[in-house]
Amino acid sequence: MLRFSGGWFTTAFCASYMALFAHGGPVLQYYPLSGRWSFGPPAGGSGPAMQWYGLMLEAGLIAMAVSALLRDRPLPRYLADRPWAVPLTAMAACFYLLRGFFT
């Protein structure tokens, strides 16, 4: 059975979500007005896209791979002593990137 490291999963998930969010759209998008899923831009008239599902899927896959590969390595001491550092940094970065929606 494949084992995972919870610490590495959390760190990799937050870091990859932040990077994917900052550098462009995910490969999977959902269009709620038409109820369609798309791996690319759909034909016109589909309405606005929800990219959150794609971001979660991609960040989860990346985090699973990282946590499976590094499961036997301990987290660096800085991260092990401060488990809140990476999630808090990712949240702050996402808030910064969304600052245009709050003004």
3-state SS, one letter per residue, for 65-84: HHHHHCCCCCCCHHHHHCCC
Q: Does the pLDDT of residue 1 top 70, yes or no?
A: no
Please state the domain extents for the chain: 6-102
How high does pLDDT run on average in the chain?
A: 87
Q: Does the pLDDT of residue 64 top 90, yes or no?
A: yes
Q: How far apart are CA 82 and CA 41, in angstroms?
A: 40
The residue with greater pLDDT, 93 or 48, is 93
The residue with greater pLDDT, 10 or 26, is 10
Q: Does the pLDDT of residue 14 top 90, yes or no?
A: yes
Confidence of residue 85 (pLDDT cuts 50, 70, 90): very high
The CA-based dihedral angle spanning residues 97, 101, 102, 103, taken in that order and rounded to the nearest 10 degrees = 110
Confidence of residue 65 (pLDDT cuts 50, 70, 90): very high
Element holding 29 (H helix, E strand): strand 29-31
- Report the predicted TM-score, pTM, of the whole model to 2 decimal places: 0.84
Query: Residue for token digits 């989860």?
Result: 60
